[in-house]
Amino acid sequence: RGDRCFKQATDRTRVLAASQVQLVSDARLQDSFKRELRYVYTAAGESIDAVLIREGLALAWREDGSQRAALTALEERARSAKTGCLWSGS
């Protein structure tokens, strides 16, 4: 809450998630606060993380994860193209 693009990202996540999502675990199952870590996909199998990052609504997690390289590449493309509320300057 309070972060740039919070409302837009929340609204888009609600649309993508609809009434069902798929959760996929990675090598690290929990963070240091014991929160469960998962990649989130739509019921049709589309990565919600990737959509939000590609649309300039979210930042890629850069610390670890099997999808780190792909997601950071999407972020760089969105930034270069000034896509979405994170990078458009508005």
The answer to whether 9 and 24 have CB atoms below 8 angstroms apart is no
**Using one digit for the tens of pLDDT, what is the confidence trace for 63-80?**
899 999 999 999 999 999
DSSP strand pairing (21-24 vs 39-42): antiparallel
* Residue 42 CB contacts under 8 Å (≥ 6 apart), including other chains: 16, 17, 18, 21, 22, 48
**Using one digit for the tens of pLDDT, what is the confidence trace for 15-65?**
999 999 999 999 999 999 999 999 999 999 999 999 999 999 999 999 899
d(CA 39, CA 25): 6
- Looking up tokens 């606060």 gives 33
**Using one digit for the tens of pLDDT, what is the confidence trace for 39-48?**
999 999 999 9
d(CA 13, CA 32): 25
